[in-house]
C-alpha cells in the first residue's frame, strides 16, 4: 500500500500544481477522523481556496474531477467524497489495501526502513560515572537511547552510540577513599567512617556492599577488565591511586554486565579526563577569550551566555583556577562537531535542564557554523519501582537505590525495556514489578508478544511454506476486520518516521499495542485455517505480514518476538 499511497500522492501533487503553480508542495494525506468517512483525506482544497479566490467546495469538486481521470485513482480508488467545507475523503478499493500484505512479505525485516541518506549522527546516553551499579534511571536512559538510535537507523541515518564518563573527579576520589577504608577493614557505622551530614564530601561516601566486594578483590590482587579499560590491583593498602584505578575498572565492568543484560552496546567510551589531558578544555577557553565572548569579574572568568539566550552569564573559571562543569561539556561537544556529527542527541535526566542553554551558548560563542539548536536533548524523569503494592527504594548491593540488574532479574529484559519506553520520557513513571511478570492482557509487553506467538502457532499448525504466501491471491481479504488490520499495517512506515522526528519511541509501543489489539479482533472474527484453500492462504498471508510488522516494531525497541509463550 505504500506504493499505492505514493502514486496517489503524486497524482494529487500534479493536480494541485495544475491548479496553482507551486501548490504541489501542499499535497498530503491524513487519516479521516471518522473511519467510516474513508481511508485517506486531504485538505488541499481548503488551503488553496483563499489564494485562488474560490469557494473551497467548488475547488474540491474540480480537484476530484481531475483526480478521477488519472490512472492511480482509477486503479486504486473506489470513491471520492467531499465533506464539510471542502474535505476530500478517499475510499480505497480492497485491492489497494491488500497491497500492503505483499509489501510486508516481500520486504520482511526491511519493511518500514528508508534507504541510507549518507548522514551521520551521534547519540550520547547512559554516561554514568563509575561510582556504583546502574540504577533504574540509567535503565530508562539506556532504553530511550538505544530505541532512538534504532529509530533513526530505520530512517537511513548512520548512527553512532557513545558513553561519556568522568574517571578522575571529586566523586571518583570519594570512591577511592571509600574503597581504602574497606580495604583497611572498616565499614559504614565505624567511628572512622565519615558521617557528618554538613560535609558534602563525607555524606557522599559510598556505603553499598559493592564497595566491600571491590576492596576484597583489590586485596586479592585481581585483574578487572571492562570494554574500555583493564587494571590489576597491587593489594597495597596504601596505594590510593591504584585503588582509584581498580575501582573505576571494576565498576565499569559492572556497568558492562548491566548493559549486556539489557542488550545495549556502545561504539565508543569517551573520558572527561581526556578533554583536559589533550588540551581541549584549555583550547576551548582560549577560543572563547579570543572571540571576545568572556570577561573577568570578581576574580572569575565569565561567559557572555546572555548574548545567546541564557537567563544570566555563567562562570567558566572560578577564582581558584578550576573550571565549572559546563566548560568541559562545551569542549566535548566541539569534539562531536569536529568528528563530523552534524546531528547530535543527548539523553539525560531532567536535572540537566539547566545545562542546555549554557552549553549551546558556549558552542555558539566558540565555534562559527554550529547550528543554534545543537545538540538536541531528550530529558527523562526518574522511575519509581513498586513491588507487592509498595515502593522499593533501596538495593542491598547498591545501598541506596534499586539497580537496573535488580529490575531485570525480578522481571525480564523485554519487560523492562517495553515498560520504560511506554511513556513520554519527561513524564513520571511507576514501574510495577507485579504487572511486568503477569501473563495476562493487562501486561502490555505480554499482550504484544502473545499476538506474535499466537500467529506463529497458526502458521506452525498450517505447516506450509511461508515464503509462498507472498504471491497468493488476496482477493478474499475484504471483511471490515481484515481491511482495518491492513490499514494499520500500512501506517507502520509513517509512524516510524514521525517517532524518529519526535524522539518518541513511546509511539512505537502505542502502535504495537494497537496492532496486537487489531490482530486479536481479527482472529476472533475470522477463522484462519478454513477448508477453502484460497481463503485460507489469503488469511495466512495477512497474519504472516502482521507477525512481521510486530517483529520489526519490537526490534526497534530492543524487545524479542517469541514464537511460543
pLDDT digits (tens, 9 = 90+) for 285-344: 999 999 999 999 999 999 999 999 888 999 999 999 999 989 999 999 999 999 999 999
DSSP state of 468: G
Q: Higher model confidence: residue 202 or residue 230? A: 230
Q: Please, is 382 exposed, middle or buried when counting C-beta atoms within 10 Å of its C-beta (0-12, 13-18, 19+)?
A: middle
How confident is the model at residue 316, as a pLDDT?
95
Among 153, 149, 179, which Cα is nearest to 161's?
149
Check if the beta carbon of residue 518 is closer than 8 Å to that of residue 487. no
56-76 mean pLDDT: 93
| Chain centre to alpha carbon of residue 471 | 35
In this structure, the strands spanning 158-165 and 120-124 are parallel
How confident is the model at residue 398, as a pLDDT?
66
Share of the chain above pLDDT 90, in %: 83
Question: In this predicted model, what pLDDT tens digit does every residue of 364-382 receive, in sequence order?
Answer: 999 888 998 999 999 999 9
Rounded to whole angstroms, the Cα distance separating 410 from 399 reads 18
Segment among 351-365, 414-428, 530-544 with least mean pLDDT? 351-365
Q: Please, what is the average pLDDT of the chain?
A: 93
From the options 3.40.50.300, 3.40.50.620, 3.40.50.720, 3.90.320.10, give the CATH code of 120-272.
3.40.50.620
Question: In this predicted model, what pLDDT tens digit does every residue of 449-474 receive, in sequence order?
Answer: 999 999 999 999 999 999 999 999 99
18-35 mean pLDDT: 87
Same fold, 2-92 and 120-272: no
For residue 255, name the pLDDT band (cuts at 50, 70, 90): very high
Query: Taking phi first (over 0 means left), then psi (-120 to 50 degrees means alpha), and beta for anything else, what does residue 252 get?
Result: alpha
pLDDT over 90 at 20, yes or no: no
| Domain 278-333+343-364+374-380 superfamily per CATH | HUPs (3.40.50.620)
In this structure, the strands spanning 87-92 and 77-83 are antiparallel
Output the DSSP codes for 270-332. EEHHHHHHTTHHHHHHHHHHHTT-EEEETTEEEE-GGGGT-SS-EEEE-TTSPBPTHHHHHHH
Check if the beta carbon of residue 131 is closer than 8 Å to that of residue 172. yes
Thinking of the domain 441-557, which architecture would CATH place it in? Orthogonal Bundle (1.10)
Check if the beta carbon of residue 279 is closer than 8 Å to that of residue 328. no
- Location of C-alpha cell 564497595: 211
Q: In what order do the strands lie in the sheet with 300-303?
A: 294-297, 300-303, 314-317
pLDDT over 80 at 64, yes or no: yes
For residue 506, name the pLDDT band (cuts at 50, 70, 90): very high
Alpha helices by DSSP H, listed for 32-93, are: 44-52, 56-67, 71-76
Rounded to a whole number of angstroms, the CA Rg of the chain reads: 29
Rounded to whole angstroms, the Cα distance separating 201 from 10 reads 65
- First-residue to last-residue Cα distance in the chain: 32
pLDDT over 60 at 548, yes or no: yes
pLDDT over 60 at 175, yes or no: yes
Compute the Cα dihedral for 211, 215, 218, 222 and give only its sign. negative
DSSP E strand stretches across 396-528? 429-432
139-163 mean pLDDT: 98
Check if the beta carbon of residue 379 is closer than 8 Å to that of residue 348. yes
Residue 77, CA distances (Å) to 96, 97, 315, 361 in order: 8, 10, 64, 53
pLDDT over 70 at 203, yes or no: no
How confident is the model at residue 200, as a pLDDT?
45
C-alpha cell belonging to residue 539: 488469511
Buried b (16+ CB within 10 A) or exposed e, 11-36: bbbebbeebeeebbebbebeebeeee
Instruction: Kindly report the number of other CB atoms within 10 A of residue 498's CB atom.
Output: 13
The answer regarding whether domain 2-92 maps to CATH 3.30.1360.70 reads yes
pLDDT over 70 at 150, yes or no: yes
512-535 mean pLDDT: 97
Segment among 17-31, 270-284, 493-507, 532-546 with least mean pLDDT? 17-31
393-404 mean pLDDT: 77
Domain ranges of the chain: 2-92, 120-272, 278-333+343-364+374-380, 441-557
Rounded to whole angstroms, the Cα distance separating 145 from 362 reads 24
How confident is the model at residue 197, as a pLDDT?
52
pLDDT over 80 at 397, yes or no: no
C-alpha cell belonging to residue 328: 568541559
Count how many residues are written for the chain. 565
- Could you give the angle at the alpha carbon of 138 between the alpha carbons of 507 and 278, nearest 5°? 115
Rounded to whole angstroms, the Cα distance separating 38 from 45 reads 17
Rounded to whole angstroms, the Cα distance separating 138 from 207 reads 20
How confident is the model at residue 396, as a pLDDT?
63
pLDDT over 60 at 272, yes or no: yes
pLDDT over 60 at 198, yes or no: no
Amino acid at each position: 500500500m505504500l506504493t499505492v499511497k505514493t502514486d496517489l500522492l503524486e497524482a494529487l501533487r500534479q493536480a494541485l500544481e495544475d491548479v496553482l503553480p507551486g501548490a504541489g508542495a501542499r499535497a498530503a494525506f491524513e487519516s479521516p477522523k471518522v473511519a467510516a468517512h474513508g481511508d485517506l483525506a486531504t485538505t488541499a482544497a481548503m488551503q488553496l481556496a483563499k489564494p485562488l479566490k474560490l469557494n473551497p467546495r467548488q475547488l474540491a469538486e474540480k480537484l476530484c474531477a481531475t483526480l478521477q481521470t488519472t490512472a492511480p485513482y482509477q486503479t486504486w480508488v473506489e470513491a471520492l467524497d467531499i465533506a464539510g467545507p471542502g474535505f476530500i475523503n478517499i475510499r480505497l478499493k480492497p485491492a489497494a489495501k491488500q497491497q500492503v500484505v505483499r509489501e510486508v512479505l516481500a520486504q520482511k525485516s526491511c519493511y518500514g526502513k528508508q534507504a541510507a541518506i549518507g548522514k551521520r549522527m551521534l547519540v550520547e546516553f547512559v554516561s554514568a560515572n563509575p561510582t556504583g551499579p546502574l540504577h533504574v534511571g540509567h535503565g530508562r536512559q539506556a532504553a530511550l537511547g538505544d530505541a532512538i538510535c534504532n529509530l533513526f537507523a530505520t530512517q537511513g541515518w548512520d548512527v553512532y552510540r557513545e558513553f561519556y564518563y568522568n574517571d578522575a573527579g571529586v566523586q571518583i576520589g570519594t570512591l577511592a577513599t571509600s574503597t581504602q577504608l574497606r580495604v583497611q577493614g572498616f565499614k559504614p557505622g565505624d567511628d572512622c567512617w565519615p558521617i557528618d551530614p554538613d560535609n558534602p564530601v563525607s555524606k557522599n561516601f559510598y556505603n553499598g556492599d559493592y564497595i566491600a566486594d571491590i576492596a576484597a578483590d583489590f586485596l586479592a590482587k585481581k585483574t578487572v577488565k571492562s570494554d574500555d579499560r583493564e587494571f590489576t590491583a597491587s593489594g597495597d593498602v596504601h596505594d590510593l591511586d591504584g585503588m582509584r584505578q581498580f575501582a573505576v575498572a571494576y565498576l565499569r565492568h559492572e556497568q558492562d554486565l548491566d548493559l549486556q543484560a539489557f542488550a545495549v552496546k556502545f561504539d565508543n567510551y569517551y573520558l572527561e579526563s581526556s578533554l583536559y589531558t589533550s588540551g581541549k578544555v584549555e583550547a576551548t577557553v582560549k577560543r572563547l577569550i579570543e572571540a571576545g565572548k568572556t570577561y573577568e569579574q570578581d576574580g572569575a572568568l565569565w561567559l557572555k551566555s546572555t548574548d545567546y539566550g541564557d537567563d544570566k552569564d555563567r562562570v567558566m573559571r572560578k577564582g581558584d583556577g578550576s573550571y565549572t562543569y559546563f566548560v568541559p561539556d562545551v569542549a566535548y561537544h566541539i569534539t562531536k562537531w569536529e568528528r563530523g556529527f552534524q546531528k547530535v542527541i543527548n539523553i539525560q535526566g531532567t536535572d540537566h535542564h539547566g545545562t542546555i542553554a549554557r552549553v549551546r551558548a558556549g558552542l555558539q560563542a566558540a565555534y562559527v557554523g554550529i547550528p543554534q539548536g545543537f545538540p538536541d536533548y531528550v530529558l527523562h524523569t526518574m522511575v519509581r519501582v513498586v513491588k507487592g503494592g509498595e515502593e522499593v527504594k533501596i538495593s542491598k548491593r547498591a545501598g541506596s537505590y534499586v539497580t537496573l540488574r535488580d529490575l531485570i532479574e525480578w522481571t525480564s529484559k523485554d519487560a523492562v525495556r517495553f515498560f520504560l519506553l511506554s511513556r513520554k520520557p519527561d513524564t513520571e513513571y511507576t514501574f510495577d514489578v507485579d504487572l511486568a511478570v503477569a501473563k495476562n492482557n493487562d501486561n502490555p509487553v505480554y499482550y504484544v508478544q502473545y499476538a506474535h506467538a499466537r500467529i506463529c502457532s497458526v502458521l506452525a499448525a498450517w505447516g506450509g511454506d511461508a515464503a509462498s504466501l507472498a504471491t497468493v491471491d488476496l482477493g478474499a481479504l475484504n471483511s471490515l476486520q481484515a481491511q482495518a488490520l491492513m490499514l494499520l499495517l500500512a501506517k507502520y512506515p509513517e509512524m516510524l518516521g514521525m517517532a524518529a522526528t519526535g524522539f518518541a519511541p513511546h509511539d512505537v509501543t502505542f502502535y504495537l499495542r494497537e496492532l496486537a489489539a487489531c490482530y486479536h479482533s481479527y482472529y476472533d472474527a475470522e477463522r484462519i485455517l478454513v477448508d477453502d484453500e484460497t481463503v485460507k492462504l489469503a488469511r495466512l498471508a495477512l497474519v504472516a505480514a502482521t507477525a512481521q510488522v510486530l517483529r520489526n516494531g519490537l526490534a526497534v525497541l530492543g524487545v524479542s518476538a517469541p514464537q511460543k509463550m
